[in-house]
Amino acid sequence: MHSNALFFERLANQLHDKLCGRFLQFSFSSSKSELFFIFDKEFSLKYQYYKGFSLFQQADFQKLPKKNRLNPFKVIESKKLTSISAHKMNRSFSFDFEDGLSLVFKCYKNNGNVLLYKNNKIVEIFRKKIDKDWHMARDVFVNKTFVPARSKDEFVHLYPFVPKNEWIWKDMKFPMSAEQVKVLYQKIQKRIMHIEQEKYSINMVLSEKEGQSDMLGISTSFARTFISQNEFQQKKNALLQAVKKELKRKRNYLKKIHAQIDLESKQTSYKEIGDILMANLHLDVDEATKKIKLLNFYTGDRIDIKLIKQLSLQKNAEKYYEKGKSQHKKLAFQEKAIVEAKRIIGRLSNEIGELEGVQDFKSLKPYLKEEEMNRKSDAFPFRKRYIDGYDIWIGKNAKNNDLLITKYSHRNDIWLHARGVQGSHVLIKNSSGKNIPKHVLEKAGSLAAFFSKSKNNNLCPVVYTHRKYVRKPKGAPQGLVTVDKEKVILVEPKNEAE
């Protein structure tokens, strides 16, 4: 009903009674969708195009925007308003000023606009992107004439603005003459209009009772409530979408960890391989041998075991035992990660249920505050990853790489970079100076390779060293450093999500 021709006609008639004969002191726009018309300190009118609707409010003079004021209709300032013309059966009305100036409010859904005419020629429009409005003739906005309707379908087609209230339609008989349509129209215009608010919607409703309605008051109340409800729903939906996205990410992460544990449980562990090698120390194996096939006495199968050349079976077994310790630590980290992920998943699931039940801004406010705090914490300058208990920080560009090295690093951190190509600097945070497990080092190396010019290669050499051996020469270009005591690992470029 708020975008109905009947509504705009009644609003225009009441505005005429209130404003006719006054002078417009000034007008301005503070955004692409709002216009303010100030007649005096007692009365200011706000026009707003919002979500496809033209909304009108009586504005509070003390709360008018003070900044970013533009005046698209300066020519009508200080002009006397001679009349406000309602366009019968048309979703438009006009402010007619002296000197042949006319400001037309075109309230068509999705194409609402304000057009200024001088002597029936268009001179300015508010929403300039609607090109066709530059060519819209003034006589388009005129009173339509009543015409007969032979059937209900034809009546609905000719007069779509007539409400569907039962009391309007119950006594209608077809065919209807033009005079009968006019009488019905006048009958409807005498009815009281009010607002009905539901859970997530607000509507203007026509009562069966006759009487006057404060159309500007109704319009103001409707506009404020309509905008407030839409803003509330928009913020609520955005929060729900963000929480659901995080929930999906955590579920995928949990699924990934379970898949890794399941895969590793089906493979021979490094400790078991060490045991198998120790059980076969009596074998005479050439030191140049890279691989040996032995009986896995845990499963009864024969397996291939990779060997490091120049090392004895016992030394190779010791290497596998060292890997086994890292593998055990990794499993412990994974089990902790599973517990934490399940806790977060439970919290997020509960939060979604709570958010879906929120029905007003007051109840939504705590969630908005939490989201703002999370957003500020997410404004961290670098990419972040978390690998088995270690924080990995990744530079985003040359300037950001310098920031990472000079302001956000500790001398015991491990620094990595794809060798010989442009790419991100990567840090494994390690202020305690403890030894980094090899699998963590390799995953961080994969990240350094992925965020480099070698990301599309099958394998990429990555250099690494302690941060204390990385220096930024004075006057060097952004991102350029010198490195001492570096080592090299060969890794597959991969973006570890967690």
Residue 419: CB atoms within 10 A of its CB come to: 19
Q: Yes or no: say if 358 and 420 are a contact pair by the CB < 8 Å rule.
A: no
pLDDT at 229: 87
Rounded Cα–Cα distance for residues 428 and 445 (Å): 10
More confident residue, 363 or 199: 363
Most confident of 201-210, 280-289, 328-337: 280-289
Determine the residue type at 220: T
Rounded Cα–Cα distance for residues 296 and 266 (Å): 13
What token pair was written down for 493? 């470029």
Determine the residue type at 497: A
Q: Helix or strand or coil: residue 69? A: coil
- At residue 393, what are phi and psi to the nearest 5 degrees? -110, 135
Name every residue whose Cβ is closer than 8 Å to that of residue 447 and which is 6 or more positions away in sequence.
385, 392, 394, 416, 424, 426, 494, 495, 496
Residue 34 pairs in a beta bridge with 48
138: nearest Cα among 126, 120, 119, 115: 120
Interval 172-185 mean pLDDT = 91
Residue percentage of the chain with pLDDT more than 70: 96
Q: Yes or no: say if 9 and 93 are a contact pair by the CB < 8 Å rule.
A: yes
Rounded Cα–Cα distance for residues 439 and 467 (Å): 19
What token pair was written down for 413? 């951190």
Q: How many residues does the chain have?
A: 498
Our CA angle for 78, 84, 85, nearest 5°, is 140
215: nearest Cα among 200, 201, 204: 204
Mind listing the pLDDT tens digit for each residue in 270-326?
A: 999 999 999 999 888 887 888 999 999 999 999 999 998 888 899 999 989 988 887
Residue 354: CB atoms within 10 A of its CB come to: 13
The H or E element that residue 369 is part of is helix 361-377
Rounded Cα–Cα distance for residues 57 and 329 (Å): 66
Helix 270-278 × helix 313-357 angle, to 10°: 160
Q: What is the largest CA-CA distance in the chain?
A: 115
Residue percentage of the chain with pLDDT more than 90: 51
- Alpha carbon 319 to its chain centroid, in Å, reads 50
pLDDT at 353: 93
Our CA angle for 458, 463, 467, nearest 5°, is 145
pLDDT at 441: 94
- Alpha carbon 258 to its chain centroid, in Å, reads 31
Q: Yes or no: say if 367 and 358 are a contact pair by the CB < 8 Å rule.
A: yes
Q: In the predicted model, is pLDDT for residue 266 greater than 80?
A: yes
More confident residue, 56 or 2: 56
What token pair was written down for 479? 């991102």
Taking the CA atoms of residue 364, residue 368, residue 370 and residue 373 in that order, the dihedral angle to the nearest 10 degrees is -170
Mind listing the pLDDT tens digit for each residue in 402-428?
A: 999 988 999 999 999 999 999 999 999
Q: In the predicted model, is pLDDT for residue 377 greater than 70?
A: no
What token pair was written down for 249? 């990410």
Mind listing the pLDDT tens digit for each residue in 99-117?
A: 999 999 999 888 999 999 9
Rounded Cα–Cα distance for residues 488 and 451 (Å): 17
More confident residue, 385 or 379: 385
Rounded Cα–Cα distance for residues 50 and 223 (Å): 9
CA distances from 449 to 359, 429, 462, 497 (A): 48, 18, 7, 14
Rounded Cα–Cα distance for residues 254 and 497 (Å): 12
pLDDT at 203: 64
Rounded Cα–Cα distance for residues 246 and 37 (Å): 46
Among all chains, which residue has been given the structure tokens 């007539």?
A: 162
What token pair was written down for 399? 């300037």
Average pLDDT over the chain, rounded to an integer: 88
Interval 8-26 mean pLDDT = 93
349 pLDDT tier (thresholds 50, 70, 90):
very high
Which long-range contacts does 59-65 make (Cβ < 8 Å, 24+ apart)? 64/36, 64/38, 65/30, 65/36
What token pair was written down for 46? 């706000």
Mind listing the pLDDT tens digit for each residue in 116-169?
A: 999 999 999 999 999 999 999 998 888 788 999 999 999 988 888 888 787 888
Among all chains, which residue has been given the structure tokens 């019968």?
A: 88
37: nearest Cα among 92, 79, 67: 79
pLDDT at 143: 77
pLDDT at 29: 94
Rounded Cα–Cα distance for residues 101 and 308 (Å): 93
Q: Yes or no: say if 2 and 226 are a contact pair by the CB < 8 Å rule.
A: yes
Q: In the predicted model, is pLDDT for residue 498 greater than 50?
A: no
